[in-house]
């Protein structure tokens, strides 16, 4: 930022300084030229033809430098076939006269014709041709003025512009550097506080930051809170998985130690329990990973049709009907949506009386999926306990581990949804209401 500011300030000062130098230098030269032209016009106005056809002045020049030798102010009047009338200041020198052009208006130019190895006298010359009354000769009037005065003025001007613009540029660069350092200083504080958080000295970035930096610090604090919640969630699920596997492993170990005759059956049964527990936690891990890496969309109807075909093959005596909005979408990964709907519909088919009715109802920013069955239902007091891992209310001996509803609840909450159990008014059994964010 400081480097870009330096380049930009330097470029602007160079352009501005060059333009100002040209403007002021030209103003000095124009003012000088006006004085030379005034002397030229005054000389022409005071000129007349004498008795012998020579040029003379009817009044002497006002500037005394015309009579001082080598004073730096000269005049010369010359004509074809006539004597040259020159100022005493020229002494033994004469101005160069060019016959290649005619000047009816004042003609100004620079000349170094009085230069010598020891001294160079730059001249600013104004010349004009005129025919005086009483003469047919075209006279060339010339006024020469030394440029040393205006060259010194221009040199002083450029010196003043150089040091003043240099001081201005240095001041602007210092100001830009201070502004950059001061403006970015809060970021150094953010870096230090992040380092303190990493070393364990602090838990969060403090709130005392400028308004421009505060959104960054708030986002960092939210990111830290999110990371902590994910770490805590990971620890909790690791503990839950360890606890869930501990009991089956204990049963298998005890059976093996006692050399139980039904050891193989015990191992198979407990291995199935452990597999379901592992599948449950893997489903949660997949859902969390998908939620963090993508904005998934899935059509509820497509997922329900796939679940319907699978249930029809597993339970031949069960009828699954689907109704509602065919185009409804939810912000859930398709595989996770299949798993949630599959668990709900399979539970309804397994514990119902043979009829399962599924309804898709969009409601603003959410989509409700209602899964109803015609089974005996569940008392309201016992519905909350079904979401506990391993909880089962049936005593019919049907296969299962009681993890279906727990998986549905956990995955739904990961995506910002929820699941609730109610009583079906149409079929009289259980109604599972799955609410997911609309896509």
Domain boundaries, the chain: 2-153, 215-293, 298-437
Work out whether strand 47-49 and strand 55-57 pair parallel, antiparallel, or are unpaired. Answer: antiparallel
Work out whether strand 366-373 and strand 418-423 pair parallel, antiparallel, or are unpaired. Answer: unpaired
Long-range contacts of 288-292 (CB under 8 A, 24+ apart): 288/230, 288/233, 288/414, 290/333, 290/336, 291/333, 291/414, 291/415
Summarised one tens digit per residue, pLDDT across range 286-339 is 666 655 545 678 899 999 999 999 888 888 888 999 999 999 999 888 888 888
Work out whether strand 107-111 and strand 123-131 pair parallel, antiparallel, or are unpaired. Answer: antiparallel
Summarised one tens digit per residue, pLDDT across range 403-437 is 568 878 888 888 889 999 988 888 888 899 999 99
Summarised one tens digit per residue, pLDDT across range 195-209 is 888 888 888 888 888
Q: Rounded to an integer, what distance in angstroms lies between the CA atom of residue 203 and that of residue 224?
A: 9
| Phi, psi (deg, nearest 5) at residue 92 | -100, 10
Rounded to 10°, the helix 2-45/148-199 angle is 170
- 183: Cβ contacts below 8 Å, ≥ 6 apart: none
Minimal CA–CA distance to 98: which of 129, 121, 75?
129
Residue 384 above 80 pLDDT?
no
Q: Rounded to an integer, what distance in angstroms lies between the CA atom of residue 295 and that of residue 408?
A: 20
Q: Which of 13-22, 30-39, 163-172, 405-414 has the lowest mean pLDDT?
A: 405-414
Mean pLDDT of the residues in the chain = 85
Minimal CA–CA distance to 359: which of 367, 347, 348, 350?
367
Residue 124 contacts residue 115 (beta carbons within 8 Å): no
Summarised one tens digit per residue, pLDDT across range 249-264 is 888 888 888 888 888 8
Radius of gyration for the alpha carbons in the chain, expressed in angstroms and rounded: 52
> Which pTM was predicted?
0.49
Q: Rounded to an integer, what distance in angstroms lies between the CA atom of residue 320 and that of residue 349?
A: 8
Q: Please check whether the domain covering 298-437 is classified as CATH 3.30.565.10.
A: yes
Tell me, what's the pLDDT at 20? Answer: 94
Q: Do domains 2-153 and 298-437 have the same CATH topology?
A: no
Q: How many helices (H) and strands (E) does the chain have?
A: 8, 14
- Mapped onto helix, strand or coil, the DSSP state of residue 41 is helix
* Mean pLDDT to the nearest integer, 345-353: 88
Tell me, what's the pLDDT at 117? Answer: 72
Residue 58 contacts residue 46 (beta carbons within 8 Å): yes
Token representation of residue 113: 């014709």
Summarised one tens digit per residue, pLDDT across range 90-105 is 988 899 888 777 888 8
Q: Rounded to an integer, what distance in angstroms lies between the CA atom of residue 32 and that of residue 348?
A: 107
Class at the top of the CATH hierarchy for domain 2-153: alpha beta
Work out whether strand 355-363 and strand 319-324 pair parallel, antiparallel, or are unpaired. Answer: parallel
Residue 389 above 70 pLDDT?
no
Residue 88 above 50 pLDDT?
yes
């Amino acid at each position: 930022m400081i480097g870009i500011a330096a380049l930009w300030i330097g470029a602007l000062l160079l352009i501005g300084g060059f333009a100002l130098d040209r403007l002021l230098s030209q103003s000095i030269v124009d003012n000088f030229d006006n004085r030379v032209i005034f002397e030229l016009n005054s000389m022409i106005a005071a000129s007349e033809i004498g008795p012998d056809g020579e040029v003379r002045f009817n009044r002497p020049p006002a500037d005394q430098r015309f009579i001082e030798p080598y004073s730096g102010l000269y005049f010369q009047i010359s004509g074809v076939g006539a004597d040259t009338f020159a100022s005493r200041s020229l002494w033994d020198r004469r101005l160069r006269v060019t016959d290649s052009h005619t000047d009816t208006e004042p003609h100004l130019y620079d000349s170094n014709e009085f230069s010598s190895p020891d001294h160079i006298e730059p001249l600013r010359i104004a010349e004009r041709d005129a025919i005086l009354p009483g003469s047919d000769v075209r006279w060339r009037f010339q006024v020469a003025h030394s440029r040393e005065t205006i060259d010194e003025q221009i040199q002083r001007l450029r010196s003043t512009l150089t040091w003043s613009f240099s001081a201005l540029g240095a001041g602007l660069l210092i100001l830009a550097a201070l502004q950059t350092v001061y403006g970015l200083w809060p970021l150094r504080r953010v870096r230090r506080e992040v380092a303190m958080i990493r070393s364990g000295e602090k838990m969060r970035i403090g709130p005392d930051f400028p308004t421009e930096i505060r959104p960054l610090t708030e986002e960092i604090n939210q990111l830290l809170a999110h990371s902590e919640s994910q770490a805590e969630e990971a620890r909790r699920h690791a503990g839950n998985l360890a606890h869930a596997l501990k009991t089956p492993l204990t049963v298998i170990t005890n059976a093996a130690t006692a050399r139980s005759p039904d050891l193989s059956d015990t191992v198979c049964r407990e291995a199935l329990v452990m597999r379901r527990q592992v599948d449950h936690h893997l489903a949660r891990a997949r859902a969390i990973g998908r939620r963090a890496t993508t904005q998934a969309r899935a059509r509820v109807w497509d997922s329900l049709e796939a679940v319907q075909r699978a249930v029809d093959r597993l339970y031949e005596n069960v009828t699954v009907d689907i109704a509602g909005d065919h185009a409804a979408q939810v912000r859930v990964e398709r595989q996770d949506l299949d798993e949630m709907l599959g668990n709900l519909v399979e539970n309804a088919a397994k514990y119902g009386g043979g009829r399962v009715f599924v309804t898709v109802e969009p409601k603003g920013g959410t989509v409700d999926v209602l899964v109803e069955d015609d089974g005996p239902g569940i008392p309201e007091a016992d519905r909350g306990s079904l979401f506990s891992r391993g909880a089962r209310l049936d005593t019919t001996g049907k296969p299962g581990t009681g993890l279906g509803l727990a998986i549905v609840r956990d995955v739904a909450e990961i995506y910002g949804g929820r699941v609730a159990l109610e009583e079906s008014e149409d079929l009289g059994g259980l109604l599972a209401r799955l609410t997911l964010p609309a896509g």
